[in-house]
Amino acid sequence: MRPELEQKYVEFVRGRLTRLHRTAYLLCGDGHRADDIVQATLTALYVNWKKAVRADNIDGYAHRVLVRRYLDDRRLRWSRVWLGDVPAGAATAAPADHRYGERDELLAALRTLPKGQRAVIVLRYFDDLSVEATAEALGCSEGNVKSQCSRGLAALRTVLSAEEHVRMGGRG
C-alpha cells in the first residue's frame, strides 16, 4: 500500500477505534469477542482500503464490515460454547453506582434480541446513525431498519419492564 494511503488508514483507525470497539461490544456483549470482531474488521478494511477510501461514507462502510464480522462470528459453532461458569471463589462487588446496574440490565436485554434487531438498535441509538446511514451500514432498506427498530424497541420495553416488575417484588 502506498504510504499516503497507509497514513489515511492509520488516521481512520486512530479516530474510530473506540467507537468500533463499543459497537462490537454492544452487539456481542463480550469484551474479548468484541476485540476479535474489531480486529477482523480492521484487517478487512486494511486489505480493502483502496476501495473503502473511495466509498461515499467511509464510516458506513466500516460499520457494514463490522456488522458482517459480528454476524459471521455468530454463525460459527464455537460462538455458542461456554467454557464454564464463574469460579466459586471469584471476587464479586456490588455496583457502586445504580447506573451500572441499569447498564447491565440494558446489555442483558440487548442480548435477548435477534441479531438483526440488535444491530439496528445499536447502530441507531448507541452509534447515533440516521435511518439512512443504518440502512447503508447493514445493506438493507430504510423500511427494514424502521421495522426492525420498532420491533427491537418493543422487545426491549417488554424485557426491561418485566425485569423492573421482578425487582419490585412482583408489585406494581
Q: What would the pLDDT profile of 1-30 be if each residue is shown by its tens digit?
A: 789 989 999 999 999 999 999 999 999 888
Domain count, the chain: 2
pLDDT value at 171 more than 90? no
Three-state SS at 171: coil
When mean pLDDT is compared across 22-36, 51-65, 83-97, 149-163, the lowest value belongs to 83-97
Q: Residue 49 is part of a domain; what is its CATH number?
A: 1.10.1740.10
Q: What is the pLDDT of residue 172?
A: 52
- Are 115 and 62 contained in the same domain? no
Three-state SS at 37: helix
Higher-pLDDT residue of 166 and 140 is: 140
In a domain, 37, yes or no: yes
Question: Reduced to 3 DSSP states, what percent helix, strand and coil does the chain have, rounded to the nearest 5?
Answer: 75, 0, 25
Q: What is the mean pLDDT of the chain?
A: 84
- Are 37 and 69 contained in the same domain? yes
Q: Could you give the C-alpha distances from 12 to 52, 59, 112, in angstroms and in order?
A: 11, 9, 32
Q: What would the pLDDT profile of 78-120 be if each residue is shown by its tens digit?
A: 445 555 555 555 555 454 555 556 778 888 899 899 989 999 9
Answer for the pair 63, 137: CB distance below 8 angstroms, yes or no.
yes
Answer for the pair 66, 34: CB distance below 8 angstroms, yes or no.
no
Answer for the pair 62, 16: CB distance below 8 angstroms, yes or no.
yes
Which of 12, 17, 114 lies closest to 70, judged by CA? 114
In a domain, 86, yes or no: no
Q: Which residue type does 13 have?
A: V
In a domain, 88, yes or no: no
User: In the structure, what pLDDT confidence band is assigned to residue 71 with cuts at 50, 70 and 90?
Assistant: confident
